[in-house]
DNA sequence: ACCGCGATAGAACAGTGTTCGTCTAGCGAA
DNA sequence: TTCGCTAGACGAACACTGTTCTATCGCGGT
């Protein structure tokens, strides 16, 4: 109940805007009342994260297509996180251990093991993977990129500003940055995410093969 | 001057503990005085990040050994970040564009291009790489893992708690998690970081080769 | 001696998480 | 019905936060 209310606030105001007082308002009650049901804001965030983890849909594992399925899981996780504004910010530095989060890692662990990935590699890659998806979703989610000068505008305006900035650099000191100015700013979040997914899965395949020298 | 003071505070109190008032105290002055030199806390954080980026040492590029050099850069970045407590937390969601940060990406860009990585891939991988290093350093840095129940203790105690938790799960619902309980918690931050580095570089090599089908 | 200006700083404002003590609504037992 | 009892709500307060406004320094140039 209170977790659902908190999630409604997150969807509207973002993680930083999800204050105890606002969650209490959502329930037409006082902030102090929340502390009867929840130890502190930290616990509330954990509960919210696990609830969100429960929204992740998992297909039936198909070890023969494990690479495609790993990517599919990544996309599903990202979609689920972004559905709740910048809740990915709350995942950073937190290790979710609720039943719903565990269900996801259990699924991934099963898939990787069935695919022949060594146990040790599978255990390590679980962390790496969620680290990537969480960090990416967070970067994309807070639509306003905090700029040093308070000039933060829309996404496109910021990108144009960056491009101009890169191009204006002294070409003798930053030849590559100037030359690749367009490439550095082009490419939406979707494309960047897919690129990371490709690199991760390809790297995992190579690493796993190297770690299992029985051919 | 004020940036150095702020960095001293970070090293002592962490990012969240780096409040305007404490930085001012470090300089034996008042919090309001800082706003004469700095637009706001956001700008101060940017300046701190770029100063830290200036501490990153870059070797002479050696394209023939680009894979080793990319890993070396990762380790150097991580070391530099961890030297300043949890300052990595400040990198998340921020895009550093100061001269010192630019110097690093310029170096990496040059190395990757000279190594034959396609421009587009190089541009994308810059982001991916700093995302990984930043996220990893942040996770490792805040020594206290925020636990739902306020039972956060030392790193080792938490790990033991996790192991016990994983083992205590119902084996029919979480067979893989239970089976890999030891592997999931074992492995220090160094090993985990190296694993990520391996995966990333191997994945990059594979992806770059695929994107450049001229053999 | 005076002006101007770069710099400092106190007080205040709105907002945060959290705690304390008090209050109320409901319910089972006598 | 009346008496407890307790789960839950809640106002007030505390110690903080970033930021702004305003007044006030110190000091070099005229």
With both helix axes pointing from N to C terminus, report the angle between A189-211 and A66-83 in degrees, rounded to the nearest 10. 140
Q: Give B49's contacts (C-beta < 8 A, 6+ positions apart).
A: B87, B90, B91, B94, B96, B98, B101
Q: What percent of chain B has pLDDT above 70?
A: 92
CA–CA distance, A160 with A170 (Å, rounded to integer): 18
pLDDT band at B179 (very low <50, low <70, confident <90, very high): very high
Rg, chain B, Cα only: 21
Given a contact cutoff of 8 angstroms between Cβ atoms, the answer to whether A146 and B75 are in contact is no
> What gap in Å lies between CA B102 and CA A33, rounded to an integer?
49
Residue in chain A nearest B187 by alpha carbon: A124
B143 pLDDT more than 90: no
Which residues does chain A have within 8 Å of residue B199's beta carbon, measured at their own beta carbons? 125, 128, 200, 203-204, 207
Contacts of A192 in chain B (CB under 8 A): 124, 127-128
Q: What is the pLDDT of residue B152?
A: 53
Residue A52 or residue B142, greater confidence: A52
C-beta atoms of A106 and B145 within 8 A:
no
Q: Does B199 touch chain A (CB under 8 A)?
A: yes
Nearest to A135 among B135, B191, B198 (CB): B135
How many whole angstroms separate alpha carbon A178 and alpha carbon A184?
A: 9
How confident is the prediction for chain A on average, in pLDDT? 92
| Lowest pLDDT segment from A152-156, A169-173, B14-18 | A152-156
Closest CA to A136 of A193, A191, A71, A93: A193
Would you say residue A215 has pLDDT above 50?
no
CB within 8 Å of chain A, chain B residues 172-191: 173-177, 179-180, 183-184, 187, 191
Dump the DSSP string for A111-162. Answer: HHHHTT--HHHHHHHHHHHHHHHHHHHHHHHS-S---SSS----HHHHHHHH
- Average of pLDDT values for B36-61? 97
Task: Give the Å distances, CA to CA, from A57 to A85, A137, B54, B108, B210.
Answer: 19, 17, 44, 38, 31
B150 touches strand C (CB under 7 A): no
State the nearest Cα–Cα gap between A125 and chain B, in angstroms.
8
Instruction: Supply the pLDDT for residue A156.
Output: 76
| Tens of pLDDT, residues B4-16 | 999 999 999 999 9
Residue B39 — pLDDT band, cuts 50, 70, 90?
Answer: very high
Least confident of A149-153, A208-212, B64-68, B87-91: A149-153
Touching A: B residues 3-32, CB under 8 Å: none
Query: Does position B133 have pLDDT exceeding 80, yes or no?
Result: yes
Question: B48: closest CA among B58, B34, B59, B31?
Answer: B34
pLDDT tier at B154 (50, 70, 90 boundaries)?
A: low
What's the rounded Cα separation, in Å, for the pair B65 and B71? 10
Residue pLDDT, tens place only, A104-147: 999 999 999 999 999 999 999 999 999 999 999 999 987 655 55
Region A60-215: CATH code: 1.10.357.10
Say whether pLDDT at B66 is over 70. yes
Q: Which of B61, B114, B132, B176 to mutate to test the interface with A (most CBs of A within 10 A)?
A: B176
Instruction: Tell me what percent of chain A is helix, strand and coil, each rounded to the nearest 5.
Output: 70, 0, 30
Closest chain A residue to B202, measured at CA: A203
Map tokens 């800082």 to a residue.
B34
Average pLDDT, rounded, for chain B: 92
SS3 A150: coil
Identify the three-state secondary structure at position B154.
coil
pLDDT at A130: 97
Any atom of strand C under 7 A from CB of A41? yes
* pLDDT band for position A212 (cuts 50, 70, 90): low
B54 touches chain A (CB under 8 A): no
- Supply the pLDDT for residue A13: 96
> In this structure, are residues A38 and A2 in contact, taking their beta carbons and an 8 Å threshold?
yes
Q: What number is the average pLDDT over the span A173-180? A: 96
- The per-residue pLDDT for B215 is 46
Q: Would you kindly state where each structural domain of chain B is located, as residue ranges? A: 61-215
Give CA–CA dist A110/A117, Å, rounded: 10
CB contact at 8 A, A202 and B202: yes
Best residue of A89, A98, A148, A197 to probe chain B, by most B CBs closer than 10 Å: A148
> How far is residue A21's CA from residue A41's CA, in Å, rounded to a whole number?
11
| pLDDT of amino acid B149 | 53
Contact yes or no for B180/A122 (Cβ under 8 A): yes
Cβ proximity of A134 and B136 under 8 Å: no
* Res. B186 pLDDT band, cuts 50 70 90: confident
pLDDT recorded at residue B147: 56
Instruction: With a cut of 80, say whether residue A214 has pLDDT above it.
Output: no
CATH topology of domain B61-215: Tetracycline Repressor; domain 2 (1.10.357)
pLDDT in tens, A15-64: 999 999 999 999 999 999 999 999 999 999 999 999 999 999 999 999 99
Put simply, the answer to whether A109 touches B177 (Cβ < 8 Å) is yes
What's the gap in Å between the CA of A30 and the closest CA on chain B? 22
Helical residues (DSSP H) of A142-188, grouped into ranges: 155-167, 175-179, 181-185
A contacts of B198 (beta carbons < 8 Å): 203, 207
B57 φ, ψ (degrees, to nearest 5) = -90, 135
* Range name among B138-142, B155-159, B202-206 with the lowest pLDDT average: B155-159
From the CA of A88, how many Å to the nearest CA of chain B? 11
d(CA B16, CA A206): 39
Tell which of A202, A210, A211 to mutate to test the B interface (max B CBs under 10 Å): A202
Q: Cβ(B19)–Cβ(B64) under 8 Å? A: no
pLDDT at B151: 52
Mark yes or no for CB contact B204/A203 under 8 Å.
yes
């Amino acid at each position: 109940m209170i977790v659902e209310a908190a999630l409604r606030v997150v969807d509207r105001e973002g993680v930083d805007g999800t204050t105890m007082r606002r969650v209490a308002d959502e329930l037409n009650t006082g902030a102090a009342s929340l502390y009867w049901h929840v130890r502190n804001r930290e616990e509330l965030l954990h509960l919210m994260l696990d609830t969100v983890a429960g929204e992740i849909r998992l297909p039936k594992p198909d070890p023969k297509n494990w690479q495609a399925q790993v990517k599919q899981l990544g996309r599903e996780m990202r979609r689920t996180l972004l559905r709740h504004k910048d809740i990915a910010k709350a995942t950073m530095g937190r290790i979710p251990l609720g039943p719903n989060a565990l269900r996801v890692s259990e699924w991934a662990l099963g898939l990787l093991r069935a695919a022949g990935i060594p146990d040790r590699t599978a255990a390590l890659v679980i962390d790496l993977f969620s680290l990537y998806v969480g960090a990416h979703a967070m970067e994309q989610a807070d639509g306003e990129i905090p700029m040093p000068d308070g000039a933060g505008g829309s996404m496109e305006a910021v990108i144009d500003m960056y491009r101009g900035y890169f191009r204006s650099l002294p070409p003798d000191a930053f030849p590559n940055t100037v030359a690749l100015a367009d490439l550095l700013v082009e490419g939406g979040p979707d494309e960047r995410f897919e690129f990371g997914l490709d690199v991760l899965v390809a790297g995992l395949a190579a690493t796993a093969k190297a770690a299992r020298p029985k051919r």
